[in-house]
Copies of this chain bind each other. A is one copy, B any other.
Amino acid sequence: MTPEPRALLKNAGMRVTAPRLAALDWLSTHPHATADQVAEGVRARLGTVSTQAVYDVLRACERAGLLRRIEPAGHPARYETRTGDNHHHLVCRECGRTEDVDCVHGAAPCLEPSDAVGFTVDEAEVLFWGLCPDCRTPKEQTA
């Protein structure tokens, strides 16, 4: 996956810009990063990049299906390059650390609500909430 950021962008009919390459590249090695973290990673490679540019890049790539965005309640959004499979996530209530969880029930999990009351459902999102090993320790975290 993420065979080549440059190729991914071209295939999606998007312009190949330095911030986009840097963001995709960095996310491929740092999954589940926040916009802020992506900005840092991109800046470490390119120098100055505006916050706005980072948000634009992330949104453009998300719309093109190159990135998937996860928005755990109470935490800033996170991004990952693993798209296509609707895998699930494990989120730490404390620090927001996010990990992948493969689907429990085969490929398409609880994808079908028992009663959609007229809704057109296009996605089932499953989030597992808990504490990561670091935050479970009795130390006094930010709480």
List chain A positions with a Cβ less than 8 A from chain B: 71, 73-74, 77, 88, 90, 92, 99, 101-105, 109-110, 112-133, 136
Contacts and interface: CB of A to CB of B under 8 A. Distances in A.
B129 A123 contact: yes
Copies in the complex: 2
A129 B118 contact: no
A73 B70 CA distance: 8
Contact of A128 (B73, B123, B128, B133): B123
Given A74-B71, A126-B125, A119 B132 contact: yes
Given A71-B74, A110-B109, A121-B90, A116 B104 contact: no
Contact of A104 (B102, B113, B117, B128): B113
Kindly list the 7 A-B residue pairs having the minimum CB-CB distance in the complex, ordered from nearest.
A71-B73, A121-B130, A118-B133, A123-B129, A125-B127, A101-B113, A119-B130
